[in-house]
Chains A and B, each alone.
Chain A
Amino acid sequence: MKEKAVTGGFPQALSALQGMLAATRATDKEIRGMMKAMPALSSMIETFMLEPHIRKAGLPFLELGSTYFRNLGNAHKEGKKIAFESFNFPPAILYALDIVPVSPEVISSFLSIGMPKGVFRFIDYTTGIGLSETMCTAQRGGVGVILSGLTEKPDMVLNMASGSCDTNSKMFDFMSEYLHIPFCNIDAPPYWDEDGEMIKYYRKEYRKMVAFLEEQTGKKLDEDKLRQCCTEAKKQDEYVAEIYDLRRAVPNPVPAIFNLMMFATRFMASGTPQATKVMEAIYEVAKERYKKGEGVLPREKARVGFVYLSHFTTGGEFWRWLDHNGISLMLEGLILFNHQHYSIDTSTVDTMLDSLAGQAHNMMMTKQIRGPLDFPGQWFEDIATLAKDLNIDCAIYLGTLGCKNTWGGIKVLMQTIEEELGVPTLIMHSDAWDDRVTPWATLRDQIEEFVDTVVVQ
């Protein structure tokens, strides 16, 4: 039996914030006024709006977030279907079919930054209905939000990252059974060959999903609409590649929070003009800072590679603190796709589907950090490539308790990084979406200690 719905007003509040921002010139005074007027969203405003250089990209990003949640709320009124899907999947194909995506990880992350106490109560809600405490909190937080009735009920389930981890994949099966909605699973083969049988197999699976989506929506995939989405996705990829190049500079001109904005934009809205607007804004800000020789404040003390996750459950403080303490966030697991410019061929429907399938299969936790069937060394190879290219000084692991795949391999990964790249490493026991595991203050002190005493000597 389902528990009584947990109520909350985050989507409405975010929409109201976006409305207020759109109605003002967003001056410093107005932003501070909004923080006072909307205390529940003050961390969201502080993270994306308070600092002028962040604000230029933060405003379109908040607009994008607001659209994401508004679409979710209005989908059924507008006759659209909602697909419960995985974060590590570019949703351009869904937008091409007028399907509204909802990813639990996106919800968990947005609410962790935007709401006091993040998604704790939603994580607990899922425990209450019988899900294990050792399952991924990024999923459980968002699933708790959906199952407690805070969003519209999804109409279908898509699992496009079947390799990512067993419990992660099982959640899709669970959602289908629990909500009595249809389920489509894309199988990712247990081997890697960029141009051979693997990609052929995955493309076949991808087309199976397209057929499923057409059946669910009663619509045929429209070539022109698909091309529009692919063209937008292509522009976004080009911005991502440009931003990656800027990051090579010393000091790094890309503020830490832009990393989150980039991967969140891709996860939420790849293929939409709004996502292109966000990527363009991020690029313009970074380029301007690069030209001025501006880096992370007050000086670039250390260039850190976060080999897996950032820490979301801090109301955005994680990224602000890094910047203000001269710790440059050079890479993190969720942007491992950044250096792989996967070109989209918009010639025909077939080339577009092949390109989108290839891109999906290159996403993190589909390509890297898979379960026992991982491609040997894939995680390390990509991290090592980035680490050398971006000139990192150290590597830090922040993850979640539920991430069996990374916990299973992290020690070996870090030892290899130490031996082959010659940089110190730090493994932290924490949960990116649940501060109750290890409080942010403890993690912050340890990161500071590590950077100040082991990295910078």
Chain B
Amino acid sequence: MIVAGCDVGSLTAKAVIMRGEEILAAEIIGVRPKPEQSARDVMERALEKAHLTLKDIDYCVSTGYGREKIPFARDNISEISCHGRGAHWLIPSVRTVIDVGGQDCKVIRVDATGKLQNFIMNDKCAAGTGRFLEVMAKTLGVRLDEIGPLSLMAKNPVGITSMCSIYAQTEVVAFIAQEVDRHDLAAGITRAMAERVKSLAMRVGVEEDVVITGGVAKNIGVVKSLEGMLRVTTKKLTVDPQVMGALGGALFAREKIAPKG
């Protein structure tokens, strides 16, 4: 049986194809104007990588913002459930999943069996999401993936106090005008981001083991800052943390077609 999960988020679309316990392919693309198109394009690329066609997929579960618009998905399940399921499948000892996506952030608590116990989402603004880092990278004039490594070389990280991304950008612009070292600026940015995520995590409580999923999990600066603030060492995932929702979708798809009893 071949199953798939398709996660159409706010900034990227992800697809995972599985056969049994094996991940055959995983793909990530930037989103298209319409979720249907994003889903088709990302799935097409994943299928190509796995040398399959859509007809070979026995069951597909969609997730993410665009989950109800995916024509080839037979069911849709929320991102919270999918991220929890994906992370727990990879690391069964996980109890807290911190998912920092492009435009939202979730902290999910699961029990030993992987069942959801509690969750919290930011629902207000871009601070504490990938979009915040994107805006800041542009302001600093560096690539998104450079911010993390730059931040690790800081000597005197700046303090960014604004809760709002736009005002935080204004603060960074002011620091640039004062010719503050860009490593210190990068560290200030990753710390500010981690602070937002931390305050959300504290509201549902953090129990180890902890994993970080979503695109921001790839930012070493944010991860290190968050680990320090939460006083935990996060578990490293063996697959791209950004495809965790799609992986969870594929796992749910596998359950759907598993023989009953």
A interface with B by C-beta (< 8 Å): 411, 424, 427, 429, 437-438, 442, 445-446, 449-450, 452-454, 457
Contacts and interface: CB of A to CB of B under 8 A. Distances in A.
Contact of A454 (B119, B124, B203): B119
B127 interface: no
A449 B203 CA distance: 18
B123 A454 contact: no
A437 B124 CA distance: 7
Nearest to B80: A449
A437 B125 CA distance: 10
B162 interface: no
Nearest to B115: A457
B233 interface: no
B116 interface: yes
Q: Which A-B residue pairs are the 3 nearest by beta carbons?
A: A453-B116, A442-B123, A449-B78
Contact of B117 (A427, A442, A454): A454
Contacts of A449: 78, 80-81, 119
Contact of A453 (B80, B120, B121, B124): B80
Contacts of A411: 203
B118 A454 contact: yes
Nearest to A430: B123
Nearest to B79: A449
Interface residues of B, number: 13
Contacts, number: 31
Contacts of B80: 449, 453
Contacts of B123: 429, 438, 442, 446
A438 B121 contact: no
A100 to B, nearest CB: 40
Contact of B124 (A427, A429, A452): A429
B31 to A, nearest CB: 19
Central interface residue in B81, B115, B121, by most chain A CB within 10 Å: B121
A427 B120 CA distance: 8
Nearest to A425: B118
A438 B124 contact: yes
B81 A453 contact: yes
Interface in B45-83: 78, 80-81
Interface in B107-139: 115-121, 123-124
Contacts of A457: 115-116
Interface centre among A427, A449, A457 (most CB of B within 10 A): A449
A442 to B, nearest CB: 5
16 contacts: A424-B118, A429-B123, A437-B124, A442-B123, A445-B78, A446-B121, A446-B123, A449-B78, A449-B81, A449-B119, A450-B119, A452-B78, A453-B80, A454-B118, A454-B119, A457-B116
B197 to A, nearest CB: 16
Contact of B116 (A429, A442, A454): A454
A50 B81 CA distance: 35
A427 B123 CA distance: 12
Nearest to A448: B78
A307 B121 CA distance: 20
B78 A427 contact: no
Contact of B203 (A427, A437, A442): A427
